[in-house]
């Protein structure tokens, strides 16, 4: 009887176990206290983002700051991309950690120019040095060695500096990206200036190292000027077509951009190396020509690569798959390609 009275008085039968995913409400906290507590919480920090090889002319990202919400809490950045909570987690009462992707911090123009200078210096030094050594040793390097040296140099420079400056390394690429509005025109003279200066420095460094300099690694046509112009135009077209694909289209190969561009450089040298020297780059010819005082048919190497690059970039932009069609195909396809 005492137990029955106790049960009726406290209504023990009305209490039921709470569901697994339900939690008791927290006691009310004054708004001022809640604001102070939440203000002391640290804002989410930006995770380290993987270096994307080679996005020449990519837009400059702005800085990021935490914004205040209505209740005083430091809100997540508006620019971050967060993954939602799965339904199964809600049903089981377990919440997985939220993953956010934040834009990288901005890179100063001085750092971009420094990376562009260093990358172009390495590329011109490697390609020209191999040509000089090949001439000094009566062709021991062979055309395959010349192609491998320049292609590997392009690959490692893109992989190491592509996330800083875009790794243009070539005035033709800089001008073509600016024409496609992937790069600001106001930075074009600065980039080209850094590339020309790096080419001259590399050529004179080689002149001091290899004495006598022999031909100086200058690219000169072995046939007529018309033939040289046509070949330089075509191989520059091929190079810029590939560069535009891997650098501006997120659906193309991303992480392997350096390998794709390096392989294209090797292919072009095998095609035109014996006929024109396979310059593909005005500063590849200009620096060694100044150091060796040899300006034979230099107009070919200053004009054909630029025109070929403009045509190659424009052609890829005209034939690439539109964004809407790509999104539709992605939903119906089970396979995925490499992406940045």
Of 89, 308, 53, 303, residue with least CA distance to 163: 53
CA of residue 36 relative to chain centroid, distance:
42
pLDDT-based confidence at residue 174 (cuts at 50, 70, 90): very high
User: What's residue 68's pLDDT?
Assistant: 43
Which tokens in the block code for residue 208? 């001091």
Residue 22 above 90 pLDDT?
no
pLDDT-based confidence at residue 54 (cuts at 50, 70, 90): very low
Three-state DSSP class for residue 332: helix
Interval 92-111: pLDDT, tens: 555 555 555 566 678 899 99
Interval 132-158: pLDDT, tens: 999 888 888 899 999 999 999 999 999
Average pLDDT over residues 124-130: 95
User: What's residue 55's pLDDT?
Assistant: 47
| Cα separation, 109 vs 111, whole angstroms | 5
Residue 201 above 70 pLDDT?
yes
Average pLDDT over residues 178-188: 94
Which residue shows structure tokens 């074009």? 188
* Domains and their CATH numbers in the chain: 109-321 (1.20.1080.10)
Task: Give the predicted TM-score (pTM) of the model.
Answer: 0.67
214 torsion bin: left (phi>0), alpha (psi -120 to 50), beta (else): left
Under a CB-based contact definition with an 8 Å cutoff, are residues 301 and 229 in contact?
no
Under a CB-based contact definition with an 8 Å cutoff, are residues 55 and 65 in contact?
no
DSSP 109-168: HHHHHHHHHHHHHHHHHHHHHHHHHHHHTTSSSHHHHHHHHHHHHHHHHHHHHHHHH---
Interval 312-332: pLDDT, tens: 999 999 998 776 555 545 443
User: What's residue 279's pLDDT?
Assistant: 94
Average pLDDT over residues 108-125: 95
Residue 220 above 70 pLDDT?
yes
CA of residue 275 relative to chain centroid, distance:
32
Helices 109-136 and 282-292 meet at what angle, rounded to 10? 60
| Cα separation, 127 vs 169, whole angstroms | 13
């Amino acid at each position: 009887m005492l137990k029955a009275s106790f049960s009726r008085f406290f209504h023990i039968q009305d209490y039921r176990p709470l569901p697994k995913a339900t939690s008791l409400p927290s006691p009310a906290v004054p708004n001022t206290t809640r604001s102070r507590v939440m203000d002391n919480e640290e804002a989410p920090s930006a995770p380290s983002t993987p270096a994307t090889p080679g996005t020449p002319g990519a837009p400059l990202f702005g800085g990021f700051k935490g914004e205040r919400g209505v209740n005083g809490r430091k809100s997540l950045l508006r620019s971050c991309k967060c993954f939602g909570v799965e339904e199964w987690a809600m049903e089981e009462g377990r919440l997985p950690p939220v993953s956010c992707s934040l834009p990288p911090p901005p890179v100063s123009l001085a750092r971009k120019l420094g990376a562009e200078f260093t990358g172009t210096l390495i590329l011109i030094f490697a390609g020209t040095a191999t040509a000089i050594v090949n001439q000094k040793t009566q062709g021991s390097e062979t055309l395959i060695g010349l192609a491998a040296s320049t292609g590997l140099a392009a690959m490692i420079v893109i992989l190491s500096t592509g996330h800083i400056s875009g790794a243009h390394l070539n005035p033709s690429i800089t001008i073509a990206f600016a024409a496609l509005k992937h790069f600001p025109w106001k930075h074009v003279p600065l980039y080209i200036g850094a590339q020309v200066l790096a080419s001259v420095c590399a050529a004179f460094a080689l002149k001091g190292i290899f004495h006598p300099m022999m031909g100086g690694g200058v690219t000169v046509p072995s046939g007529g000027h018309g033939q040289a112009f046509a070949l330089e135009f075509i191989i520059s077209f091929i190079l810029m077509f590939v560069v535009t694909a891997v650098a501006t289209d997120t659906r193309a190969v991303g992480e392997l951009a350096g390998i794709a561009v390096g392989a294209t450089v090797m292919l072009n040298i095998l095609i035109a190396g014996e006929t024109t020297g396979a310059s593909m780059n005005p500063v590849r010819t200009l620096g060694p020509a100044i150091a060796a005082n040899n300006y034979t048919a230099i107009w070919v190497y200053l004009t054909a690569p630029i025109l070929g690059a403009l045509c190659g970039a424009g052609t890829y932009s005209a034939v690439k798959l539109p964004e809407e069609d790509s999104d539709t195909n992605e939903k119906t396809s089970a396979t995925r390609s490499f992406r940045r």
